Amino acid sequence: MIFSLIFLVSLLISVIIAVLIKGLPSLSWQMISQSPVGGYYMGKGGGVLNAILGSIYLASISTFFSLIIGLPVVLYMNIYKKGNSKFSSFIRLSMDVLWGVPSIVFGAFGFTVMVFLGLKTSLLAGAITLTIMILPVIIRAMDEIFKTIPQGMLDASFALGATRWETSIKIAVKQALPGITTAILLSFGRAIGDAASVIFTAGYTDRIPYSALKPVASLPLSIFFQLSAPVQEVQNRAYASAVILTIIILIISIISRILYSKYDKHRVNG
Amino acid sequence: MAKTIEIENLNVFYGNRHALKNINMIIPENKITAIIGPSGCGKTTLLKCFNRLIDNNEGVKVTGKLLVDGENIFDPLAEITHIRKKMGLVSQRPFPLPMSIFDNIAFGPKIHGEKNKAKLTEIVQKSLQDVSLWDEVKDRLNTPASRLSIGQQQRLCLARGLAVEPRFILGDEPTSALDPISSKNIEEKFIELKTKYTLIVVTHSLPQARRIADYVIFMYDGEIVEHGTMNDVLDFPKNERTKEYVFGKIS
């Protein structure tokens, strides 16, 4: 057990150190404040601001979409239906299957939908594809939280004459709020780190995103392109992009921790 | 005795299981009626019929009538929130809502349309005073309700029920999770409250039934076996099964 633990921790540390050693020398203010100069593939100048903003837009929009689609589903599964009903079990199984589908399949599916709708590679198309990809993640993560709400608490609300809607919004969501923030973070992390589902749908560009219907860059893809460039300097920039991506995820984690403890105040241990 | 709740041929099925069989009874006003019986006899199922929380169980079927002030609450046209507003519930374990002490009490009146802040404050104070909790919490109304002790939480839950001005109070083994002092507190409250409310209390404890009940219903295997005043049922039971239970042979 202890060896597994040591292996795990050393693996984590070595990944971070490798990225930092290779990435830090190329990391500069320019990297995060400018768009690429000389093309994203061969360019040695400028930065990856296009990809930073593109990734944040893609992940935020898709997380937002998946939340407004996912939350009603989870409420229906747990408050309107019994959490252990056949319906809820069926949704749970479907979501588990979807969770296991590789993201390139979602990319291909998103591409088919795009062609069908006549949409070009764009921020919108990328965000829609990512939404489909992270829906199972956010639904299952929130579902696990809502399942832990004691039935007695819901009954207490019903017994006061509250409707299912009032119970859902004013009681269940409030009790689950810390868990919901964690689910949002998890989905955001999944969305911002994925390359395969955006490669056909969001495309890539040197420009900073300016329209929902135009292509946007993303950090995982910029890492991919820079790493496959035949120039050493550009390859090093890939590690710098990786550092930036890691830092963004770190910041999101910290924010979610802060929100968690803030919302945890009123939660009742069941 | 003035009658407030009348049950006529009430049957409850969970799928194929016949959980309540032909229940017929009358609950007298401003009295405490205790429902006793061994585990799994349908006490809690019967209690859940009064505020139709039973509807939330999947695959449940109810036939017969349960009349509250002459109105059948199982009528398809009956308005469920209106029924539940009349019934305050105190459950086995206290379940405070995930909000402050103040909001726990104000939640009920708020969902029924009370918006006036001064009125809400007044309701909160009155409800907490009715359960003797006001002096203990008046300085920390904005702290989360989950920080109260379990005995205080149970009184809070009772106060929360009183805040929507019910006519009935339903207790589902309301003291089973509490220490003896908190239990005594709740029992005393129940006895005080019967001047204004009609109480129906499911209990596992015969001594408790003796202390608080005016009327006792003994249930066995989904049926009402014996129903009468506390002394009649507990001291001079007529039915063999009641005798066995009351004198300690089955539990």
Give the integer Cα–Cα distance in Å for B219 and B21.
10
Residues of A in contact with B85 (CB under 8 A): 160-161
Under 8 Å between Cβ of B161 and B130: no
How is residue A264 written in tokens? 């945890």
User: Is B176 part of the contact surface with chain A (CB cutoff 8 Å)?
Assistant: no
B181-229 pLDDT per residue, tens: 889 989 999 999 999 999 999 998 899 999 999 999 999 999 999 999 9
CB atoms within 10 A of CB A151: 14
Does B1 score more than 50 pLDDT? Answer: no
- The one-letter amino acid code at A87 reads F
Nearest CB to B95: which of A152, A162, A163?
Answer: A152
Handedness of CA B30, B6, A160, A148 (dihedral sign): positive
Residues of A in contact with B57 (CB under 8 A): 82
How is residue B174 written in tokens? 């309301």
Q: Domains of chain B, with CATH numbers?
A: 1-82+207-251 (3.40.50.300)
Cβ-based neighbours of B23, under 8 Å, separated by 6 or more: B7, B9, B10, B11, B46, B64, B223, B224
How is residue B212 written in tokens? 């608080």
Substitution target in A84, A148, A153, A160 with the highest count of B β-carbons within 10 Å is A160
A230-241 pLDDT per residue, tens: 888 888 888 999
pTM here is: 0.85
- Determine the distance in angstroms separating the CA of B105 from the nearest CA of chain A, rounded to an integer: 10
A81 three-class SS: coil
Q: What is the 3-state secondary structure (H, E, C) of A142-205?
A: HHHHHHCCCHHHHHHHHHCCCCHHHHHHHHHHHHHHHHHHHHHHHHHHHHHHCCCCCCCCCCCC
Does A130 score more than 60 pLDDT? Answer: yes
User: Is A29 part of the contact surface with chain B (CB cutoff 8 Å)?
Assistant: no
Percent above pLDDT 70 for chain B? 98
- Burial tier of A12 (Cβ tally within 10 Å: 0-12, 13-18, 19+): exposed
Give the integer Cα–Cα distance in Å for A125 and A128.
5
Q: Domains of chain A, with CATH numbers?
A: 48-266 (1.10.3720.10)
ipTM over 0.85: yes
B226 three-class SS: strand
Residues 2-41 of B with CB under 8 A from A: none
B59-97 pLDDT per residue, tens: 889 999 999 988 899 988 888 888 899 999 999 999 999
How is residue A261 written in tokens? 């403890």
Give the integer Cα–Cα distance in Å for A124 and B3.
65
Best CA proximity match to A172, nearest among A99, A100, A75: A75
User: Is B147 part of the contact surface with chain A (CB cutoff 8 Å)?
Assistant: no
pLDDT at residue A24, rounded to an integer: 87
CB contact under 8 Å between A159 and B107, yes or no, is no
